[in-house]
């Protein structure tokens, strides 16, 4: 009885420490953003390394919350950095794509080896999404920054609604595959670690999903965001792939979609190493910490925090684009 | 272990080495840039005056290259750091190319064609032809 009580107290203490850390992370993200937006001296008076260093820390914090919340860092990066740092949105979007790309490339090999990313499910979707991401990137760079900010704000607020309303299904029941997915053999067997069972899966509604991936690729290229927030619901809820296969395959799809769009930004001269590299390294280091905290933090708490951050950043992007909150 | 295919193993191995070497290159070249080991085209101290400009104006004001022009200035720190970025953006090409023979050996022509078209899309994006307009 006493042992049980001590064990419960230890668990509670671990949980409190983790949640306190989370509170510090969220508070730091807010204050760092607000400080960068309002309080820093004119850029010309500042040492060149101050903002890249601040960017590294903000990305590190974003990386910590990105993994436990189940969203990629890319979706947090563009609205937060674009809203609160003085870098032009062109450079921020390019860096956002590279952040999402580096994360997807790092996770890709392990996901493929473990069978959580499925090439047969991913390749047809990635093909259309990567083609449309090029068009999105070209259009994003051609439009005025204020227009892109407004569209970004609206998209981020849409993502908030999606995150609040979308349900998840661990193993959706797909009675019959559609003709296209059957012809392409888009199916597999997933080993469920919890039950120890091999679960065969198949997908349906493939033509509609392909159409949606054209739109997802376009948004990813235009706003420089990873598109896991859209990939996973389409693969899981629409097509009926198991949740973990959807998440793994989504990450792999990003590695191809973001590569195509990143080349457009590189060729247009919109990649600044001094913005992109601290972002990539900070986010990846933060994600390592986030992955370690995965078992300690309450996913629902982190998810609520991320929704709140996105809501704030989305409103900021919208108001900045409209010239209301500069 | 979940169901797996030989093409996934091959893709995974090549992507692993491609992404790891790309990240190492990215960090090493950036370190050479910011420590001054390599000279910078745009002095680091002047960056805060230009990083808030739209990319078009930034290029006009700094004379920064577009397309593959950065490759000709690889001796300068700002463009040496681009090597890691370009490597990461292109490291999916080799795995895609490597799985085509696996699909063809199984007479899976559709997936071999999907990989070939994906390679063409990536090469088209990398070529700079589309971004030039």
d(CA A163, nearest CA chain B) in Å: 29
Put simply, the answer to whether A48 touches B117 (Cβ < 8 Å) is no
A7 is written with which tokens?
């064990």
The reported pLDDT for the residue numbered B106 is 93
Dist CA B77 CA B20 (whole Å): 21
Q: Determine how many CB atoms are found less than 10 A away from the CB of residue A23.
A: 12
Mean pLDDT of B32-46: 93
**CA atoms within 13 A of residue B29's CA, in its CB half-sphere:** 25
* Residue B115 with chain A: CB contacts under 8 Å: 123
Our CA angle for A303, A19, A50, nearest 5°, is: 85
pLDDT level of residue A65 (50, 70, 90 thresholds) = confident
* Residue A145 with chain B: CB contacts under 8 Å: 54
Global ipTM: 0.95
pLDDT of B47 over the 90 cut: yes
Q: Per-residue pLDDT tens for B78-111?
A: 999 899 999 999 999 999 999 999 999 999 999 9
pLDDT level of residue B24 (50, 70, 90 thresholds) = very high
Residue A191 lies in a domain: yes
Dist CA A141 CA B121 (whole Å): 19
Put simply, the answer to whether A105 touches B88 (Cβ < 8 Å) is yes
Our CA angle for B45, A103, B99, nearest 5°, is: 125
Give the residue ranges of DSSP H helices in chain B.
6-34, 47-50, 55-62, 77-90, 93-105, 109-127
* Residue B30 with chain A: CB contacts under 8 Å: 273, 277
Share of chain A above pLDDT 90, in %: 49
pLDDT of A252 over the 70 cut: yes
pLDDT of A287 over the 60 cut: yes
The reported pLDDT for the residue numbered A303 is 80
> To 10 degrees, what angle do helices A243-267 and B109-127 make?
30
Domain count, chain A: 1
Q: Per-residue pLDDT tens for A83-126?
A: 889 999 999 999 999 999 998 898 889 889 888 899 999 999 99
Domain range summary for chain B, segments of one domain joined by +:
6-127
Q: Per-residue pLDDT tens for B62-74?
A: 999 999 999 999 9
Residue A175 lies in a domain: yes
Q: Is residue A202 within a helix (H) or strand (E), and if so which, with residue range?
A: strand A197-202
User: B26: closest CA among A269, A96, A281, A266?
Assistant: A281
Domain that holds residue A150: 18-321
Which of B2, B49, B51 has the CB atom closest to A190's CB atom? B2
Share of chain B above pLDDT 90, in %: 90
A295 is written with which tokens?
């078992």
Lowest mean pLDDT among A250-254, B25-29, B121-125: A250-254
Residue A241 lies in a domain: yes
Mean pLDDT of A189-214: 89
Residue A271 lies in a domain: yes
Residue A10 lies in a domain: no
Q: A143 to chain B: nearest residue by CA?
A: B54
The reported pLDDT for the residue numbered A21 is 53
Lowest mean pLDDT among A161-170, A179-188, B37-46, B116-125: A161-170
* Residue A107 with chain B: CB contacts under 8 Å: none
Mean pLDDT of A186-194: 83
The pTM of the full predicted model, rounded to 2 decimals, is: 0.88
Q: Please provide the average confidence, as pLDDT, over all residues in chain B.
A: 93
The reported pLDDT for the residue numbered A253 is 94
pLDDT of B4 over the 70 cut: no
For CA atoms A75, A77, A78, A83, the dihedral sign is: positive
Give the best residue of B30, B40, B51 to mutate against chain A (max A CB count within 10 A). Answer: B51
Mean pLDDT of B16-41: 94
């Amino acid at each position: 009885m006493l042992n049980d009580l001590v064990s419960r107290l230890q668990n509670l203490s671990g949980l409190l420490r983790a949640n306190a850390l989370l509170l510090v992370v969220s508070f730091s993200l807010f204050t760092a953003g607000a400080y960068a937006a309002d309080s820093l001296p004119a850029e010309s008076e500042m040492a060149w390394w101050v903002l890249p260093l601040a960017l590294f820390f903000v990305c590190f914090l974003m990386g910590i919350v990105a993994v436990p919340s189940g969203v990629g860092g890319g979706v947090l990066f563009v609205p937060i950095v674009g809203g609160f740092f003085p870098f032009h949105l062109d450079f921020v979007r390019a860096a956002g794509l590279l952040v999402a790309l580096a994360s997807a490339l790092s996770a890709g090999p392990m996901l493929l080896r473990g069978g959580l990313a499925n090439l047969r499910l991913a390749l047809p979707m990635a093909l259309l999404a990567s083609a449309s991401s090029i068009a999105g990137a070209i259009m994003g760079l051609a439009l005025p920054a204020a227009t892109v900010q407004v569209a970004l704000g609206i998209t981020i607020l849409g993502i908030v609604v999606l995150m609040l309303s979308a349900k998840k299904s661990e193993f959706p029941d797909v009675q019959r595959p559609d003709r296209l997915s059957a012809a392409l053999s888009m199916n597999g067997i997933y080993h469920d670690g919890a039950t120890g069972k091999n679960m065969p899966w198949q997908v349906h509604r493939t033509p509609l999903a392909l159409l949606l991936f054209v739109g997802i690729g376009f948004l990813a290229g235009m706003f420089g965001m990873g598109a896991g927030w859209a990939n996973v619901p389409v693969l899981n809820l629409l097509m009926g792939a198991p949740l973990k296969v959807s998440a793994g395959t989504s990450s792999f799809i990003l590695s191809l979609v973001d590569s195509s769009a990143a080349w457009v930004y590189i060729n247009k001269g919109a990649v600044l190493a001094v913005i992109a590299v601290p972002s990539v390294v900070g986010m990846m280091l933060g994600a390592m910490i986030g992955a370690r905290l995965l078992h300690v933090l309450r996913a629902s708490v982190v998810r609520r925090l991320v929704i709140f951050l996105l809501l704030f950043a989305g409103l900021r992007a919208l108001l900045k684009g409209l010239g209301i909150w500069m | 272990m979940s169901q797996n295919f030989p093409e996934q193993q091959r893709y995974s191995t090549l992507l692993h080495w491609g992404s790891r070497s790309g990240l190492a290159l990215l960090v090493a070249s950036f370190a050479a840039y910011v420590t001054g080991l390599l000279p910078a085209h745009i002095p680091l101290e002047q960056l805060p005056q230009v990083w808030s400009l739209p990319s078009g104006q930034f290029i006009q004001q700094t004379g920064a290259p577009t397309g593959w022009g950065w490759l000709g200035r690889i001796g300068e720190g700002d463009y040496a750091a681009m090597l890691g970025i370009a490597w990461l953006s292109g490291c999916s090409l080799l795995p895609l190319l490597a799985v085509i023979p696996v699909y063809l050996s199984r007479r899976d022509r559709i997936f071999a064609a999907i990989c070939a078209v994906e390679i063409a899309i990536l090469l088209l994006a990398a070529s700079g032809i589309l971004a030039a307009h």
